[in-house]
Structure 1
Amino acid sequence: MRNRATGFVLMSTMFFALMNVCIKLLPGIPSYEIVLFRSVISFILSLTLLLRLRIFPFGKGNYFYLIMRGIAGSAALLIYFYTLQHLPLATAVTVQYLSPLFTVLFAAFLLKEKLRWQQWIFLLLSFAGVVLIKGFGNDFPVSLLLLGMLSAALTGFAYNAVRKAGETEHALVVVFYLPLVTIPVITPFAVNNWVMPSGNEWLLLIAVGLLTQIAQVYQTRAYQIEMASRVTPYTFLGIVFAIIFGIFIFHEHYTPTGYLGMIIVMTGVVLNFFFLNRLTSLRRLQAYLRHFPGG
């Protein structure tokens, strides 16, 4: 079972990496337009699945958090796609991996969860890594890195909205609300900045939507059959894929300082993940001991 789950999460990570490549191969298409294509494809596939399973698509009434998830998620997608087009591939992907740290940060303020001092250290460590990625010799403006961090922050906010909405709503409904909200929000901007795709660009735009959906299916399947603590670490291979694709497809080169920055960012993220996993295990053990006869 564990080997199957590992295979599923590796497939998911690879398909997300290929989606990133497709977006970067579309430098002439505005990010609004790419998000719209992705959302339309996701809307059709998600709605089809909901109707097939006879699940009411619009949920049970937790509309505030569903809509907040949609708004934050659509903004995060738009900014992330923009950074993919304008930053080196591995740089954009690495900065996006800050989202779990922002998730914890927002949970402390929105869900009143306690933020441990160790997590502040992990957060500062990852931010220091971002500073190293920028360095002094890179030819991209610091504003692009700040945009990438904003995307990660919005993703972290969206995850917290997902947690609140998920208390009463089916997981597929939560997924469906992202394209449901994104399409009406993004369409005016996409139409106003419309660039007619060429033959290959049409294929790449369709591929973005399909690859995303396939990746999400594999990701969901992995988490259904195995504990998150055992499969999540494999998702960090996304940065390795980004470096490989960046070098061999886009002929990107990174400075030693840039590589060090990526390592430091991921060190902070990974340490936070294992810290949270250990904390959860301790809480479960304490809860068990409290109810253990004679304990």
Structure 2
Amino acid sequence: MSRTPQNPATAVALMLLATAFIAGTTLMAKSLGTDTLGPPLHPLQISHGRFVFAFLALASLALVMRPKLGRPALPLHIARTLSGWGGVTLMFAAVAYVPLSDATAISFLNPVFGMLLAIPLLGEKVGKWRWIAAALAMFGAVILLRPGPDTFQAAALLALGAALVMGLELIFIKKLADREPPFQILLVNNAIGLCIASLAVIPVWVMPTAGQWAALAGLGVMMAAAQTCFVNAMARADASFVTPFSYMTLIFATLYDALIFDVVPDAVSWIGAAIIVGGAGLLAWRESVTRARLRRVAATLGGRT
């Protein structure tokens, strides 16, 4: 299998585009979940629209690119898609009630939950630095939840649940990434997600307004674009180099919230977000150190054969 040519500058540009698109999806979800564009839509209908239009975008791309597709590992795809669908639905529910910056910051816990879940599900061993990173990120989440009788954000628990479920999704993505090409994973994921979301939305579906149809289409297309940019960014540079740029999602979400909804994060939001990003960044750094060590060991063993 040929390796994608490495181009760090292009990787950074693609990752920044991905973060802008991802923040844009939460902006659209907030517009749809509030009365901005008409009567608020149920989170299940918002996630249904996300899968409908994302699948249409990816299917159209597949017709143009005509990629070689193999036999998918359906049980893994179904498990991954159920996790992803549940995660985005919870996130779309959360952003209707809490600032985009808070929900986005809490979503950065998903690699932390993925690390914790990898212990029982993948048999991975977690060292001291990873535990410190997890504890730090969780402490930041507690701050964002504002655990006081007059300040507690119950809706932020939806974002926390989304991060947990999407952490589980990472486990299945790791297993799929070793078996199938990235585009096939995206296409199959969105096809299965469309089926799941179409069944789940039946009891709550209502006719969207014209503005809501446009927002649903924009949400789906931006999600497909974000996934495509993310996958291609990761293919063009080491994950340890390009992953930190994904935290720009928080900046874009804050900017969108301020411009569209006139919501400016307070000091508690900035402190909690900074601690979560710090914990997630520490985890990413530790992962890069571990991968570099494994590559050195592999190179040494290869040189002896």
The alignment's TM-score, normalised by the length of structure 2, stands at 0.88
Shift of 1:270: 0.4
Gaps of 5+ in 2: 1-6, 35-39
Residues 200, 55 of structure 1: CA spacing in aligned structure 2 closer, same or farther, 3 A cutoff? same
Shift of 1:229: 1.7
**Kept after mapping to 1: 8 A contact 2:101/2:269:** no
Q: Given the alignment, which residue of 152, 155, 161 partners 1:144?
A: 155
Q: What is the aligned partner in structure 2 of residue 180 from structure 1?
A: 191
Alignment of 1:261-280 (within 5 A): 261-280=272-291
**Kept after mapping to 2: 8 A contact 1:37/1:205:** yes
**Kept after mapping to 2: 8 A contact 1:71/1:178:** no
**Kept after mapping to 1: 8 A contact 2:49/2:220:** yes
**Kept after mapping to 2: 8 A contact 1:15/1:212:** yes
- What percent of counterpart residues are identical? 23
CA-to-partner distance for each residue in 1:4-40, whole Å, 9 max, x for gaps? 2211211111122122211111121111111111111
Q: What is the aligned partner in structure 2 of residue 53 from structure 1?
A: 66
Q: Given the alignment, which residue of 25, 34, 48 partners 1:19?
A: 25
Q: CA RMSD in A?
A: 2.2
* Residues 1:249 and 2:255 aligned together: no
Q: Given the alignment, which residue of 139, 149, 170 partners 1:159?
A: 170
CA-to-partner distance for each residue in 1:110-153, whole Å, 9 max, x for gaps? 11111112211111111111111122579775432222122111
Residues 54, 21 of structure 1: CA spacing in aligned structure 2 closer, same or farther, 3 A cutoff? closer
**Kept after mapping to 2: 8 A contact 1:74/1:178:** no
Shift of 1:191: 2.5
User: How many residues are treated as equivalent by the alignment?
Assistant: 292
Distance 2:72 2:126 in 1: 30
Shift of 1:209: 1.0
Letter in 2 for 1:74: W
Q: Given the alignment, which residue of 2, 10, 14 partners 1:8?
A: 14
Alignment of 1:110-121 (within 5 A): 110-121=121-132
Distance 1:44 1:244 in 2: 29
Shift of 1:172: 2.1
CA-to-partner distance for each residue in 1:156-195, whole Å, 9 max, x for gaps? 1111112212332232222123222222322243232123
Distance 1:199 1:61 in 2: 37
Shift of 1:61: 5.1
Q: What is the aligned partner in structure 1 of residue 248 from structure 2?
A: 237
Q: What is the aligned partner in structure 2 of residue 39 from structure 1?
A: 51
2:45 alignment partner, SS class: helix
Distance 2:80 2:112 in 1: 17
Distance 2:220 2:150 in 1: 31
Distance 2:58 2:45 in 1: 20
CA-to-partner distance for each residue in 1:211-267, whole Å, 9 max, x for gaps? 112222222222222222221111101111222222232122333222111110110
Residues 185, 120 of structure 1: CA spacing in aligned structure 2 closer, same or farther, 3 A cutoff? same
Distance 1:178 1:139 in 2: 41
Letter in 2 for 1:192: P
1:237 alignment partner, SS class: helix
**Kept after mapping to 1: 8 A contact 2:91/2:159:** yes
2:95 alignment partner, SS class: helix
**Kept after mapping to 2: 8 A contact 1:67/1:177:** no
Deviates more, 1:128-137 or 1:158-167: 128-137
Shift of 1:293: 4.7
Deviates more, 1:242-251 or 1:118-127: 242-251
2:96 alignment partner, SS class: helix
1:85 alignment partner, SS class: coil
Q: Which segments of structure 1 move beyond 6 Å, counting only runs of 4 or more?
A: 137-140
Distance 2:251 2:213 in 1: 28
Letter in 2 for 1:3: A
